[in-house]
Every structure is written in structure tokens, then in C-alpha cells.
Chain A
Amino acid sequence: MAELTYLQAISDGLRTEMRRNDKVFLIGEDVGVYGGAFKVSLGFQEEFGPWRVIDAPLAETAILGACTGAAMMGMRPVAEMQFADFISCAWDHLVTVAAKQRWRAGTPVPIVVRLPSGGGFSGGPFHSQNPESSFAHIPGLKCVCPSTPEDAKGLLISAIEDPNPVLFFEHKHLYRRIKAEVPEERYTTPIGKARIHKEGDDLTVVTWGAMVYTAEEAAQQLENDGVSVEIIDLRTILPWDKAAVLESVRKTSKLLVLHEDTHTGGFGAEIVASVAEEAFEDLDGPVRRITAPDCPVPFAPPLEKAYIPQVEDVVKGLRELAEY
């Protein structure tokens, strides 16, 4: 086992698959000579050549459309959006073509789209978003949001192996901040299986991505008060591990959903609605959501701090729920 950052783990997963399968290629803006805006593919073009690490023109529609066509011809494309925010330019290709092709025409479209997402560094309205909920509404797509280096590698390999279009949301705030032991060999982490980040008995927090660490810090403070918090890291939101959430809610009877995306129609609403449908009798309090407010991501640090859920927001929410 080597200690890798979250970013290094993503590189490791991608390199592993590119070495193993010559149908896997990477295409995106500045992914070749420059190694990607965040350096995930640093050194890849030297190893794999310019036709497997392809510097594309600034044209997300062409990138995603080309991935779809190449996938239909038997390749396993991995596209890098420079920032997850730019996926809006390629929405049509994911939603109109790739997501529906298997169902209506019988043609699988195995592509992976890597999406550096999330805020916390004054990226402003166009370099900070978490657009996963928009895509979780689209049948035919899969949405993956790892929070740990080990999951980042294992889920990326699973995504590349998957015969469907998979959106891989990699949280930029975790890239170099989170470091952990990662197996050196190839392994897969199943898509659709949650991970219990921390066991507890009194409250359940369901979250994913960078918010796992916010929940962890908040839970620590609650533990000091004698309240035991269970944290479920969903890891993937389409499909999502409903069984794991229901099991935890049945144990703790109290649920708080935490996400960095905005509130209305965020994926938290789906989780909460499912719990209300299927575990109503097990609840001992109202379900809570802590999310970003319904507004664009701001630039200035005090505004961004007010926007992204902070540890103290989660502590407050958990305390209220514990006392209910």
C-alpha cells in the first residue's frame, strides 16, 4: 500500500486502466502536453502518445459527442471536463444521445466523464458547482462521487469497466488535501454500494464527496456531547444505495442529509422522500436537509463560506435533531 492523495489515486486508476486496455483513451482540454488543469494526466501523453491522450479544441460538445461515437465503435473513452461546470455545454450529448441509446437502439455507450467539481477556493459561479443532481434525474446515466483516495481509484476503474455512460465527480477540494493508503494493485469499488464512514447509534448523516469530512468533524463535536452519529458516504448517487440508508435510519430513527449542491430538487430531496415512503414508522423526528442555499456559488470568501455548508451548520442541525 502506498499513501496517495485523492488526485494521485485518480491518476493511478486511470493509468492502470490505460495500461491494461488499449481501447481506453483520454480526451479533454489541455490534458496532454499540460497534463490537465489539475495535473491528473501529468506524464500520460509521454507514456501513451498523442492519440490516446488527446488535446481537444475548446469544444465540450465535440468532446462528449466524439466520446459517444468512439464508444459505439468499441473504444472506452474517458473525457475530462476542465471543470464540472462546463458539462452544461455537453448536456445534450449525455442526456439526448448517450443516456438513451441503449434503451431505444440497443447500442451501449461506455464512456466516463471526469468532472472536477465543488467549491471552497473562491472559484466563483462557474468553477465551483456540484451539478450531480441534474444528472441523477436522467435514466441511463450513472453518477459517482468518491470521497476517499481508495474509492476514487476503485470507482474510476469500475466506471471505465462499466458498459454505460458514467459521470465521475471528483471533488477539487479533496485533490491534494486528502491523503490515504491506496492498494497498488488493480481493484474495483462497486457502483451503487454505500460505505459506512463512521458507525453510530443515535443519528444518521447521509452525504457524499467533500461533505463527508464536514460531517466527520461535526460528528466529533456531537460525540463529545455523548451523541453517537453514523455517517453514510453514499459514494454513488445514481444508482444510490437505498438499502444502506434505510438500514441505518431503522437503527438510529433520525436522518440528516447533507450536500454541497443547492437545496431545491437536490439529490437530498430524493433520499428524504424515499425514507418518508419506506421508513416512516421508523422515524423519531423530522428529516433534515443541510445544503447550499438556492443561489449561484459566490466568489468572495465570506460569501462562499456562507454558501457551502460548514461544520458549525451541521453541528447545529445535528444538535436540534438529537434534542427533538
Chain B
Amino acid sequence: MAIAREAEPVGSLSEVKEAGLDREDLLGIYRNMLITRGVEERGHILYRQGKIPGSFYTGRGNEAASTAVATAMGPDDVGTPLHRDMGVHITRGVEPWKIFAQFMGRQDGPTHGRDGNVHMADAKLGMIAMVSHLPAMLPVAVGCALAFRIREERRVAVAWFGEGASARGDTHEGMTLAGTRDLPVVFVCDNNQWAYSTPTHLEFATEHVADRAQAYGFEGVVVDGTDVLAVYREAKRAIEKARNGGGPTLIECLTLRMEGHAVHDDAFYVPKVMFEKWAENDPIERFRTWLRDNVGMSDDDEAEITNGVKKLLNDALQRAEDSPLPDPADLTDGVYATPEDLDTPHHK
């Protein structure tokens, strides 16, 4: 028996308008989802071409969940997106060429070649760079919320994690602190059903990850993570609740991992029927159909968006390839911060 609330799908346009989204917003979300997938598809090609060192991770199947939550955040809110959450970086306004430069370990990437993949963040856009120890980012986001609470600012922190990360103690401790202090934080679990090769029933014994929320003293919600509008509605509700002093919410987005854990992984352990079912629920296709049916997205509208995204990514790729490799002479610079480093918007 599920303890968490199971959110209804979004159907009508009027419902979406009530949530504060107009036609332009909706097409913008669609565009961001296409950029998100496009960045990762191009990244995959770069990897195959040997232009990306190390490994490469994608979030195919998670575009709706990540884009929707980021759309629901306010400009001063902050978050800790993980490696399936490219849509958050795109929605918050990170330029794709910087992401390609990051993938390729170039000087102009956000970490200047010091870290790879989606281990990056533009702090000015309210994001904190993830570490590989994924659940570690939950207590960090809780700390952001604590700072907002101490200073009595109406800001919210969003903490992302996967159903795999839900197994570790950091998740429990972060939620305990957030619950005891009613902090303005929203926990977003992208449950993409596989943690590398481990299925959900070996990660948690409840029906839903969100069922745990009750034990921490706040609400848990399960939402179809392929339904971008339902995720938006639930995220918006939770974020505004947190902003208004209502404390945390745990939103579990049931998403898909349409590829392996990383591009080296062929996911042989995922049953074929599951992939087939996922293909039918592709979040981008699903939203595309909805837009055509509900807001009259025409062939022309679609071509304009698709061509715009294609051009953006072509230009971005070129610019990233033009970016120099980092200089080993600077390797040990910046291990320690200087007082000047504190001259940031957050520290003023």
C-alpha cells in the first residue's frame, strides 16, 4: 500500500493555465527538452569519436522531470542537479557550448577540465556542482535551505537524487534535519528504475521512495516523470509551499533510463519489454503530442523550434571545439580559496 500521494496526470489546457503556464512557456519547455536531449545525443557522438575522455552519462528519459522542476523554481532558488538532470542546467540558462567544453575537458568548460561530465554548475544561475557520491548533495541542499531560513529569505533549495542514492545514509540524515526544522527544501527523486544494474526492489523495500516522506514528517508525492506538466504542477506546489514556510516535500518522479548507466553499458540486464514500453512513453514524444493536440503546435512551429535547436547545438559544438585544452601549469592553482573568492553574490 502506497503511503505517498499518487499525483493525477495533467490533461486539460485550462489546468495548465491555472498552474501559470501560457503557450509560449509550454513551447519553451518543449524547446528546453529538445536541447537537453540534443546536448546528450551530440555528447554521445563526441564520445564515440574519442573526443570525450573518461566515461559519458546521459539522462535520456528524464528530460521531462528535470526540465519541469527547474521551470517551477524561482530565479533566486538554488539546486543540486545530478547526472540525469541536464534539463536543469539548460532551463536555468547554461549555454550548451560550455557544456560541450566541459564534456571534452576544455579550458572554457565550467570546471576548466578539472572535472568532467555533468560535474559542473554555474553558481550565478543558482546551481551547485554535484559530486559522484550522489546522495552527498542532499545535506548540502538542506544547508542552503538552512541559510535561507536563518536569514529569513523566501528562497527554496531543490535537492535531486536517484532511487539508488535513496539507499545511503546521507538521504536519511538530510531529510531528518530538513524535517525537524521545517526547512524550505524540496527533495526530487528521479526514480529511473535502475541504479546501474540494480533494480528498485533491491534498493528500497517500500512501494515508493516517496512513502518514506511520512517518516520524516513531510508530504511524499509520486508523479509520472514522463508527464512534464504533472511534474511541473507538483514541483510548483511543493516549491511554493516551502517558500511559504510549509517545510519540505519529497517528490518521486517515475522516469525511465532509456540507455545504460553510462554509454559503455549496453544494459543487457534490463528486460527488452521494458525498453519497448519506455519507448512508447518517451517524455518528449508524449509532450509533443500533447502540444499538437492542446495548443495547436503546427508543423511550422515545430520546424522553427527544431531548426533553432539544431543551429544552437551546431554553433555550440564548434565553439567548444575551438576552446583550448587546459594548461597543466595551472594544475595546483585554486586548491585554496582566497578572501577575494568570497566576493560573490551569495557572500555579499
Contact = CB atoms under 8 A, between A and B. Distances in A.
Whether both chains belong to one complex is answered with yes
Contact of B173 (A51, A61, A101, A102): A61
A100 B149 CA distance: 26
A68 interface: yes
B147 interface: yes
A33 to B, nearest CB: 15
A133 B129 CA distance: 28
Interface residues on A, range: 35 or more
A107 interface: yes
A113 B137 CA distance: 19
B143 A102 contact: no
A139 interface: yes
Nearest to A75: B147
Contacts of B170: 61-62, 65, 92
A93 interface: yes
A92 B133 contact: yes
B115 interface: yes
B4 interface: no
Contacts of A69: 128, 139-147, 157
Interface stretch (B9-17, B119-127, B290-298): B119-127
Interface stretch (B61-69, B197-205, B273-281, B334-342): B334-342
B173 to A, nearest CB: 4
A226 interface: no
Given A140-B336, A164-B336, A66 B177 contact: yes
Contacts of B133: 92, 96-97
Contacts of A105: 110-111, 115, 119-121, 123, 128-129
Given A92-B133, A101-B129, A71 B335 contact: no
Given A73-B144, A97-B131, A104 B115 contact: yes
A103 B335 contact: yes
Interface string A54-69: 1011010111111111
Nearest to B183: A66
Interface in B290-348: 334-339, 341-342, 344, 346-348
Nearest to A163: B337
Interface in B100-132: 110-111, 114-115, 119-121, 123, 128-129, 131-132
| Residue of B78, B120, B150, B181 with most chain A CB atoms under a 10 A cut-off | B150
A57 B143 contact: no
Interface string A77-94: 100000000000000110
B122 to A, nearest CB: 10
A215 B25 CA distance: 71
B138 A107 contact: no
A106 to B, nearest CB: 7
Contacts of B136: 65, 92-93, 96-97
B147 A73 contact: yes
Contacts of A71: 143
Contacts of B338: 163
A164 B337 contact: yes
A164 B174 CA distance: 23
B39 to A, nearest CB: 19
Nearest to B141: A69
Contacts of B180: 57
B140 A57 contact: no
B337 A70 contact: no
A52 interface: yes
Contacts of B142: 62, 65-66, 69
Contacts of B150: 25, 51-52, 70, 75
A57 B176 contact: yes
B56 interface: no
A110 interface: yes
A290 B169 CA distance: 38
Contacts of A110: 337, 342
A190 interface: no
B123 A106 contact: yes
Contact of A97 (B120, B140, B344): B140
A72 interface: yes
Contacts of A102: 334-337, 341
B121 A57 contact: no
25 contacts: A51-B149, A56-B177, A59-B173, A61-B170, A65-B143, A68-B143, A69-B142, A69-B144, A70-B146, A70-B150, A73-B143, A74-B147, A74-B346, A74-B347, A74-B348, A96-B131, A96-B136, A97-B131, A100-B131, A102-B335, A104-B115, A104-B119, A107-B123, A108-B337, A164-B337
Given A93-B136, A106-B334, A164-B336, 18 more contacts: A57-B173, A59-B177, A65-B138, A65-B142, A65-B174, A66-B139, A68-B139, A68-B140, A69-B147, A70-B144, A71-B143, A74-B348, A92-B136, A92-B170, A97-B137, A97-B140, A102-B335, A105-B123
Interface of B: 78, 110-111, 114-115, 119-121, 123, 128-129, 131-133, 136-151, 157, 169-170, 173-174, 176-177, 180-181, 334-339, 341-342, 344, 346-348
Would you list the 10 A-B pairs with minimal beta carbon distance, nearest first? Answer: A65-B139, A69-B143, A66-B143, A108-B337, A73-B147, A62-B173, A105-B129, A163-B337, A59-B173, A69-B140
